Structure 1
Amino acid sequence: MGEIRESKVEKVYNYCLGKIHTGEWEPGTKLPSENELFESLHVSKVTIRAALQTLRSEGLIITYHGKGSFVSGYIQRDNLDGEKIIVNITPKELLDITEFREAVEVKVAELCIKNATEDDLAEIGAALEEMCECTHDYLKYSKADARFHYAMLKGTHNKVLYHSVLSVQKEFDRYLDELNRVFVSHDLSDSYQLHKQLYNSILEKDDKLATSLVMLNLRRNVLRIKKKIAGEEMEDYLYL
């Protein structure tokens, strides 16, 4: 029974994935409703919801209460602003990861300023350039964002710290993906500018500015996602 259900979920998932990959459903396209998918694919709504949840967890679609699901990317939001977005990370997970980042990233910034070599700085700079080139695509941006932070981590030259953070790499990467997905309505160039400011503070060996940027924006992240989960109007915060 479990295998049959999984096969049906995959059928819906692959159907939608094919439409997205071929470009038939472009970014911003509204997906067919559950009733329409039911009529087309002859599977239960439970199966359809499971497939959509998989697509949502992979960042391929975004769902709004009362509006439906849309292909992610550069979403056309003329009629969507203010709707409550479904966030695929719980408030507890968010707080756990943010508290972890607060405990770790201040020290990462300090040690990176102290120990980073020219090669380390070049690697951080390369990740920053990549971020600049893909502010239109949150998935690519998130990967570059992660590379930026891992390059900073590498620049600490602290093996214990490095391997400790890598032990939660999967959770950290998902956090960044979700953060950038949820705030794709905001121009990701804002995030890029904040990272650029952090990078410059490292080059200038300004540890006070670097640690202040890290702490301020981590706390703003928490507030932004809490408000987004609650469906409240967002303030125009910048974030790292």
Structure 2
Amino acid sequence: MRLQDKVAIITGAASGMGQGEAVRFAKEGAKVVIADLNIDGAKSVAEDINNNGGQAIAVKVNVMETEDILNCVQIATETFGPVDILINNAGVFDKYATSLDTTLDQWNFYLNINLTSVFQFANAVLPGMIERGTGSIVNIASVAGLVAGKGGAAYTATKHGVIGLTKHLSSEYARYGIKINSICPGTIETPLVKDVLANIPKDLVPTRTFGQVEQVADLAVFLASDEAKFMSGTAVPIDGGFTIQ
């Protein structure tokens, strides 16, 4: 198993890509903390993992609240041990809202969930990783962090920010043995975007397909594992070739 006995916190793991990552990480031997505001969904995912021979707990976390983030890391450490892996997956989509159609309150909402939470969760686990000289952080960005037109103004800005933050954190902490990378999914079939998929033609993607949650989870496992030991600060697209056009 590639992640045997590693302790992993995965945010937004009650559904969608986060859920897929949690299940996949558990199969690879990780002890998984399902961190989500939807505690019933998180408990369901944790129960499924435990019933299938894995190890998982659910923790209710509002990623906009510093106290919740610190509490999650504390619970993870007390339950399983020091955190080895952080997957910053929690996010919200703005359904292609233009700048003029985005209020300041909406802007701050997307900023806090999509970017500030990444900053805060990283800061919560980095001191322990630095002390131990090892660790992996994987931030789920988007192709909207690489190009325009794959989200609205706020979503695009925050995902560009996630990639920039990933690069900067790597420049600061890679020297301590910590890998920090980002994944840039294209159109993945998840509940987050199910209501807009019908309006996205598949012929915009060279593969003529949309991505699956399991494919993102496979990439997250690779980046979190020792197989990616020489990778840090990257923004890896998984988009069916969308960004090559």
How would you bin the TM-score normalised by the shorter chain? under 0.3
Larger of the two Rg values belongs to structure: 1
Indicate the structure with greater strand content. 2
Q: Provide TM-score, normalisation by structure 2.
A: 0.27
Q: Provide TM-score, normalisation by structure 1.
A: 0.28
Indicate the structure with greater helix content. 1
